[in-house]
Amino acid sequence: MHAQSAHQIFDLPALRDRVHVFRNRNHAGNILGEMLERYRQEDGIVLGIPAGGVPVAAAISRRLGLLFDVAVVSKITLPWNTEVGYGAVAFDGTVRLNEDLLSHVGLTEGQIQKGIEVTSSKVAGRVKRLRSEQPFPTLSKRPVILVDDGLASGFTMRVAVEALRNVDADHLIVAVPTGHSGTVEGIASDVEALYCPNIRGGWRFAVADAYERWSDVDEEEVIRIITDLSKGPA
């Protein structure tokens, strides 16, 4: 059974604080789909955050028979370390900066603005490649299930949530296979419900540790998944 808290957090107690609990992202998506069974065949939509969230979201979409789309969000990364983000930009132009991090890294205002511009251009290009010219689906008055492959700092997810609120998502559910307990609590306070089968605490947290097999998802794979889903059931 799932556990539930005041912030509508649903997890699987048997998976708490464990590592290597999912074979891959597809397996994780199927477990989440089982937890989200109440939304089967409702007028809901599953939104995957590219790239890693898309395989997870696709498995949920297939299992529940729900529409699938993507919510493009990208980190604004440090010039000398592309693994570290000091902010994020979403598909609708929403920008959020991590002021705590910025106070320690010594970037100039010019460097920060350049980072925002480069990332905004990257997001716009990715939206065009992944969604073509399609209008964004109507999100109000329907369950919107927002999916990524895990929550570490949660910064990208927070920006995605803010962007979806801006386009009238009024019943927003976050679904992630794994997440740090503090981040899960924080994100849950901003949405209607959060599903995370594998919640872990401690000082050290890596999303990849929840998976037996982990690799980056490239854009070609994302496009293939979107194309396959657009064909409907076999």
pLDDT in tens, 117-145: 999 999 999 999 999 878 889 999 999 99
**DSSP-assigned letters across all residues of the chain:** --B--TT-EEB-GGGTT-SS-BSSHHHHHHHHHHHTGGGTTSS-EEEE-TTTHHHHHHHHHHHHT-EEEE--EEEEEETTEEEEEEEEEETTS-EEE-HHHHHHH---HHHHHHHHHHHHHHHHHHHHHHHTTPPPPP-TTS-EEEE-S-BSS-HHHHHHHHHHHHTT--SEEEE-SEEEHHHHHHHHTTSSEEE-SEEE-SS---GGGGBSS--PPPHHHHHHHHHHHHT---
* Residue 7 pLDDT grade (very low, low, confident, very high; cuts 50, 70, 90): low
* Residue 165 pLDDT grade (very low, low, confident, very high; cuts 50, 70, 90): very high
Residue 106, pLDDT score:
86
Least-confidence region, from 32-41, 80-89, 195-204, 221-230 = 80-89
pLDDT of 47 above 50: yes
* Residue 153 pLDDT grade (very low, low, confident, very high; cuts 50, 70, 90): confident
Please count the CA atoms within 13 angstroms of the CA of 22 that sit on its side-chain side: 27
Residue with tokens 């293939």: 224
* Residue 41 pLDDT grade (very low, low, confident, very high; cuts 50, 70, 90): confident
- The mean of the pLDDT values for the chain is 92
Least-confidence region, from 13-22, 28-37, 39-48 = 39-48
Fold adopted by 9-72+140-230: Rossmann fold (3.40.50)
pLDDT of 1 above 50: no
* Residue 232 pLDDT grade (very low, low, confident, very high; cuts 50, 70, 90): low
**Domain ranges within the chain, ordered by starting residue:** 9-72+140-230, 75-130
Q: Which position has the higher pLDDT, 209 or 5?
A: 209
- Tell me the pTM: 0.92
Residue 132, pLDDT score:
85
pLDDT of 98 above 50: yes
The predicted model gives 194-209 an average pLDDT of: 95
